[in-house]
Amino acid sequence: MANRNTIERDLAGDIVQVVEEAAIAAARTMGQGDRQASDQAAVQAMRSAFEEVQIDGNIVIGEGERDEAPMLYIGERVGATPPPGVEYPKVDIAVDPLEGTNLCATGTANSIAVLAASEPGGLLHAPDCYMEKIIAGPACRDALDIDAPVKYNLKAIAHSLDRQVQDLVIMVLDRPRHAELIKQIRAAGARIRLIPDGDLSAGIAAAVRGAGVDAVMGIGGAPEGVITAAAMRCLSGEMVARLVVNTPELEERVERMGIRDPKRIYTARDLAPGQQIIFAAAGVTDGALLHGVRFFGDGCRTHTLMMTYASRKVRFVDTVHMFREPGRRGVRLY
């Protein structure tokens, strides 16, 4: 390839647009109490935004298998139709059109429209099952051990950050399955922030300084895990993960997806091995890192985090979308 960063260079702007459109559509449904309608709105908007993008896109992480998802299903091709004789670049894509459907449906913080893109083979084809995860910032390089007791990992994180365990803030999804984990974190003396949903944005928060989170621990979705890993590659964050494969049906599915060792421990690089990675997340509801979508009559304003791996950029994109020629009050800039 002539230029190693062509996917990142050529597509970053288009990818931003795709998550922005999904975020705007989802945000219109905020607080309506219908998580499925919110998700559908995001999926539809993302799907049609892709029609403008000049790629031969392959959904590797999506809304599910073909028979359970009418759009953005695993294996679906997305992108503009090329003119005869033209080929658009092949890109693998992992989408979560609305991460935190409940958060959006209830108007709670931290729902995002998110996707990751890379060259073919750059993102693991993970089944839609659970995944054990520990996610932390770059300081914790090689310090995490998914098989070690919780206390050990907390000590290692504290040591890497040059702090006491008592100073740490660990984010955990508020689920009954985490009762024992929460007990052990408390016993070790670390502090906890329980979150209702959204371990993906929590993972990003853990990998940046100043967001008030030191690590994310527990079991969340595997698809979210792969997208988190793409973000960790861009941020040099640390992640260890393992699929939760606990039924014969799942074992079969995992095997069908080409995963030979279902108990394998993955790092961010294993989950998102791409040489070129674009990660983009647009705020739907207000969150720690991103504003939600703000509507103002003639248009709206979106806030997007866009990161690239090879070209090492972290951009916050603040866009005013004008639905029509601005009226006499003009474009609102703040």
User: By the criterion CB under 6 A, which residues form the site for ligand VTB?
Assistant: 99-100, 173, 175, 197-200, 220-221, 224
User: Residue 232 and residue 187: Cα distance in Å, rounded?
Assistant: 29
**CB nearer ligand VTB, residue 53 or residue 200:** 200
Length of the chain: 334
CB closer to ligand VTB, 137 vs 198: 198
If one counts every other C-beta atom within 10 angstroms of the C-beta of residue 185, the result is 24
- Closest approach of ligand VTB to the CB of residue 90, in Å: 28
* First-residue to last-residue Cα distance in the chain: 42
Work out whether strand 169-173 and strand 130-136 pair parallel, antiparallel, or are unpaired.
unpaired
Q: Minimal distance in Å, beta carbon 241 to ligand VTB?
A: 12
Nearer to ligand VTB, 125 or 175 (CB): 175
169/192 Cα distance (integer angstroms): 5
Sequence letter at residue 27:
A
Q: Which is nearer to ligand VTB, 86 or 179 (CB)?
A: 179
CB of 229 vs ligand VTB, minimal distance in Å:
13
200: which 2 tokens? 């993906």
Between 79 and 127, whose beta carbon lies closer to ligand VTB?
A: 127
**Cβ 131 to ligand VTB shortest distance, Å:** 8
What does the alpha-carbon distance between residue 16 and residue 300 come to, in Å, rounded to a whole number? Answer: 15
CB of 41 to ligand VTB, least distance (A): 16
Based on CB atoms, which residue is closest to ligand VTB, 114 or 168? 114
CA distances from 264 to 216, 245, 249, 252 (A): 20, 11, 18, 15
Smallest separation, CB 328 to ligand VTB (Å):
41
Provide the 3-class DSSP secondary structure of residue 184: helix
How far apart CA 244 and CA 130 sit, in angstroms, is 5
Residue number closest to ligand VTB, CB atom: 220
